[in-house]
Amino acid sequence: MDYKANLHKMLKPRSVAIIGASRNPGKVGNVILNNYLDGGYDGKLYPVNRNADMVSGLKAYKSVLDIHSSIDLAVIAIPAEFVPAAMEECGKAKVKNIVVVSGGFAEVGATELQDKMVNIANKYKIPTLGPNCLGVMDPRARSDTMFLPTYKLSKPKIGGVSFVSQSGAVGSTVLDMIAKEGFGLSKFISYGNAAHIDEVDIIDYLMHDEETKVIVMYIEGVKHGREFFEIARKATLKKPIVVIKGGQTAAGAQAASSHTASLAGSYESYDAMFRQAGFSIAKDLSELVYLAKIFASEPLPNGKRVAVITNGGGTGVLTTDAISANGLDVAEYSEQTKKELRKCMPSIVNIRNPLDMAGDADSKRYSDAMSAISKDPNIDMLIVITLFQTPGADSSVAAKLISYKSAMDKPMIVISTGSDYTEMHKIMMESTGLPVYDSPNAAARSLAELLKYAQYRNAYSKK
């Protein structure tokens, strides 16, 4: 790893200087400082403001050169034309990392100003993220450089997904979605114009990070294609990477150029590179979150045979269609499983896959079906449909599914669609790590990508 890839102190700083910390609640620097204070950060905070003695109850400094203590991270939130001078002071003060949230660089044509920033970062060998970004968030370290008020954004719980986004707006939106879906975040890195630290450095760091189990990325353009491809192939042999590409059309590529100064390039080329590197490619932000969720929670499957348990026949049919459409197989029960199911299911239930247990299925019927099906060697993955609108489906069903999930060594996911009552039980299940999907296609597509990644890992591990 070179000095740019060693980002540990950027994500887990023990001391942070906020250059541009303001007394004005509407200013970016004020929001960043108060996010650290409100988030329970227990390291040292140094507001830097040339025109104030105190900011948010903390002593303020005219410059980082006045702090006279070790600084792991400087967050720069001042107008673009003043950023190079602030970075020079950071270099002289031996600051270990810099995040530049300020915009106004290459994305608006100010390439010389951005080049000056990069030259200073290289001169002092300071890993520098940005400019034009939200920066980083590490829930375990309670470090958060994002300038978004906490009351406007739900923060995910601690977990194993690290989300990397070239766009701050996409980043904040997906973080909100992750929090709603109930799975946990390891790290968030918004890198903007990628002037110094880029996606190669970030993947290099995250592939070695033990707290990161899944890498999720929003990318508009890649600066160093060959290096990116090589590091991506190494990373996907260690952990899954889910990606969505911005700028897939000519109009989108033009928008990306004015957004983060990215050269979006041919989407077909990116798509081919992602596939060769073993990425899972999302079609939209909802799918990005769905794929992240399954990789965060489920073991890799050994095959593509899927069993379906349902309390709604029509949804079972739609799920069967989705399984086949996504290249998976509808499993055939073993004779032993058929015998066990016949003993415990009502006579009106046909013993076949999908298993439609009828609309009055309660927690006992779900338990009996799960007991027989979950241990069938002919089954690689399991989808359980629970429509909470039916008479027998209640909290005891959700509890029973949670119980079985904890003992499962195969992928097991739930489909549950509905309003408030359903949403309450979805939260109940997902809080324990049992993933719930809103539609058959989202569920089947997620399982198909899980299998595709398992096959990729198996193929390359034998080489």
Indicate whether 50 pLDDT > 70.
yes
pLDDT on residue 5: 75
Query: Looking at the structure, do residues 233 and 305 belong to the same domain, yes or no?
Result: no
pLDDT on residue 13: 97
pLDDT on residue 415: 98
Question: What is the mean pLDDT of the segment spanning 34-51?
Answer: 95
pLDDT band at 154 (very low <50, low <70, confident <90, very high): confident
Our CA angle for 294, 325, 329, nearest 5°, is: 75
Question: What is the mean pLDDT of the segment spanning 79-98?
Answer: 98
Question: What is the mean pLDDT of the segment spanning 15-21?
Answer: 98
Query: Looking at the structure, do residues 280 and 365 belong to the same domain, yes or no?
Result: no
Burial 100-124 (b: 16+ CB within 10 A, else e): bbbbbbbbeebeebbebbbebbeeb
Query: Looking at the structure, do residues 159 and 293 belong to the same domain, yes or no?
Result: yes
Query: Cα separation of 440 and 127, whole Å?
Result: 44
Residue 278 domain boundaries: 153-297
Instruction: Let me know: does 127 contact 205? Beta carbons within 8 Å.
Output: no
CATH number for position 42: 3.40.50.720
Indicate whether 298 pLDDT > 60.
yes
Name the phi and psi angles at 57, rounded to 5: 80, 5
Q: Cα 159 to chain center, whole Å?
A: 10
Query: Looking at the structure, do residues 260 and 399 belong to the same domain, yes or no?
Result: no
Contacts of 393 (CB under 8 A, 6+ apart): 311, 361, 362, 386, 387
Query: Looking at the structure, do residues 288 and 379 belong to the same domain, yes or no?
Result: no
- By mean pLDDT, which of 86-100, 251-265, 286-300, 445-459 is the weakest? 251-265
Q: In 10 A of CB 274, how many CB atoms?
A: 21
CATH number for position 400: 3.40.50.261
Query: Looking at the structure, do residues 278 and 317 belong to the same domain, yes or no?
Result: no
Query: Cα separation of 31 and 60, whole Å?
Result: 15
Instruction: Count structural domains, the chain.
Output: 3
User: What three-state secondary structure class fits 107?
Assistant: helix
Indicate whether 462 pLDDT > 70.
no
Question: What is the mean pLDDT of the segment spanning 327-351?
Answer: 97
Query: Cα separation of 259 and 252, whole Å?
Result: 10
Q: Which two tokens stand for residue 103?
A: 């915009």
20-30: per-residue pLDDT in tens? 999 998 899 99
Please provide the DSSP assignment of 177-228 as one string: HHHHHT--EEEEEE-TT-SSS-HHHHHHHHHH-TT-SEEEEEES--S-HHHH
- Residue 143 forms part of a structural domain: no
Query: Cα separation of 204 and 6, whole Å?
Result: 9
Sign of CA dihedral 312, 315, 317, 323: negative
255-266: per-residue pLDDT in tens? 555 445 555 567
Query: Looking at the structure, do residues 320 and 261 belong to the same domain, yes or no?
Result: no
**SS percent in the chain: helix, strand, coil, step 5:** 45, 15, 40
- Residue 209 forms part of a structural domain: yes
258-290: per-residue pLDDT in tens? 445 555 567 889 999 999 999 999 999 999 999
Domain boundary among 245, 267, 297: 297
Query: Looking at the structure, do residues 251 and 342 belong to the same domain, yes or no?
Result: no
**Residue in the structure block whose two tokens are 């066990």:** 340
- Residue 142 forms part of a structural domain: no
pLDDT on residue 262: 54
Indicate whether 1 pLDDT > 50.
no
Query: Looking at the structure, do residues 286 and 379 belong to the same domain, yes or no?
Result: no
Instruction: Let me know: does 236 contact 263? Beta carbons within 8 Å.
Output: no
178-204: per-residue pLDDT in tens? 998 989 999 999 999 999 999 999 999
- Residue 303 forms part of a structural domain: yes
pTM over 0.95: no
> Strand 135-138 to strand 128-129: parallel, antiparallel, or no bridges (unpaired)?
unpaired
